[in-house]
């Protein structure tokens, strides 16, 4: 198999490169779409990676005028989605209103109005898809929870905060423009837009912030630098600087990585020495007992 074909390729391209029909029927090639082959060794095991690879596989036979939209565009932009959203296998493919709705096996077709929909070419992947703000607006039709729309919006408008961060994909004004007009889920977009912030670093940070607000607590500062004596002690996920209360989300890597665990211990000791109380929140706390998280933070604020 010529390496120039890449991990996903069309049968036509392979035939033109001299690959035999028998080789194209081999078991080491997956057949996600008619006329497309994918090297089985490249298949990822995570839902986002699997969906992205299937989209890039379909891109080799994507007709002119069609583009990726909705969940598929969100995956290709690297936006945070709930695991439940990617349980279906179909790739979202759209066309502007003057075209015919895309159809095909494993394809979810959409027809979108021309305004305010914006289509672009992904700068790294080279495939046509909804622009980030239009992607956010389209997700209102498939994400029923406003908090997930806020988390996606946060990811799109996130400003550079840490080393290696790229520029924001869009601005809050871009989100507002993209969500104008009549569309499925417009009420959810209108509820989510005022809650979008530029300094949320993850979906879980967004959900934690919204849980605190919904629980009646003041909105915390996001990714707040704790500086003592001119020295940076830590950048905490959520902060109430006046009361010196920090809320830190502990992902699974905080437990499974010995190096991360050691850094966390040193970091929390430094915060305690600076007079800060740290409320540590896990996935179980946040998604199964958000009221308990709110109660813990409220108690810490009252004591400080």
Instruction: Tell me the CA distances in angstroms from 176 to 97, 118, 158, 179, 248, one per residue in order.
Output: 21, 13, 15, 5, 30
Containing H/E element for 261? Answer: helix 258-273
What per-residue confidence (pLDDT) applies to 258? 64
Is 203-303 assigned to CATH 3.40.960.10?
yes
Q: Which residues pair with 280 in a beta bridge?
A: 248
Residue 300 token pair: 């810490």
Cβ–Cβ < 8 Å for 76, 68: yes
Under 8 Å between Cβ of 51 and 86: yes
Location of structure tokens 């813990």: 296
| Per-residue model confidence (pLDDT) at position 200 | 97
* Domains of the chain, residue spans: 64-195, 203-303
Residue 4 DSSP SS3: helix
Tokens 């996606």, residue located: 152
Digitized pLDDT (tens) for each residue of the chain, 304 residues in all: 888 888 899 999 999 999 999 999 999 999 999 999 998 877 787 899 999 999 999 999 999 999 999 999 999 999 999 989 988 779 999 999 888 999 988 999 999 987 889 999 999 999 999 999 999 999 999 999 999 999 999 999 999 999 999 999 999 999 999 998 888 899 999 999 999 999 999 999 999 999 999 999 999 999 999 999 899 999 999 999 999 999 999 875 545 566 766 777 888 889 999 999 999 999 999 999 999 999 999 999 998 7
pTM metric for this prediction: 0.91
Q: Alpha-carbon distance 2 to 115, whole Å?
A: 43
Of all helices (H) and strands (E), which one includes residue 233?
A: strand 231-240
Strand partners, 39: 29
């Amino acid at each position: 198999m010529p390496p120039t074909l890449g991990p996903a390729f069309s049968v036509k391209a392979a035939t033109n490169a001299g690959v035999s029909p028998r080789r194209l029927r081999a078991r080491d090639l997956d057949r996600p779409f008619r006329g497309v082959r994918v090297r089985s060794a490249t298949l990822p095991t995570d839902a986002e990676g699997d969906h992205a690879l299937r989209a890039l596989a379909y891109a080799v036979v994507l007709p002119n005028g069609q583009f990726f939209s909705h969940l598929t565009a969100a995956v290709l932009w690297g936006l945070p989605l709930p695991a439940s959203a990617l349980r279906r296998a179909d790739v979202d493919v759209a066309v502007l209103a003057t075209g015919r709705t895309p159809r095909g096996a494993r394809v979810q077709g959409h027809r979108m109005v021309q305004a305010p929909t914006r289509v672009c070419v992904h700068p790294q992947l080279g495939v046509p898809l909804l622009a980030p703000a239009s992607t956010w607006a389209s997700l209102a039709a498939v994400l029923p929870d406003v908090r997930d729309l806020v988390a996606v919006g946060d990811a799109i408008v996130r400003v550079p905060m840490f080393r290696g961060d790229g520029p924001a994909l869009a601005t809050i004004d871009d989100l507002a423009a993209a969500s104008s007009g009549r569309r499925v889920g417009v009420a959810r977009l209108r509820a989510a837009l005022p809650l979008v912030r530029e300094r949320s670093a993850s979906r879980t940070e967004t959900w934690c912030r919204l849980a605190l607000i919904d629980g009646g607590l003041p909105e915390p500062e996001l990714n707040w630098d704790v500086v003592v004596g001119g020295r940076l002690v830590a950048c905490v996920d959520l902060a109430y600087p006046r009361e010196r209360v920090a809320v830190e989300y502990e992902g699974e890597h905080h437990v499974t990585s010995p190096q991360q665990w050691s850094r966390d211990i040193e970091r929390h000791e430094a915060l305690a020495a600076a007079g800060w109380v740290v409320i540590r929140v896990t996935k179980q706390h946040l998604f199964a007992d958000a009221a308990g998280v709110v109660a813990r933070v409220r108690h810490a604020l009252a004591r400080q």
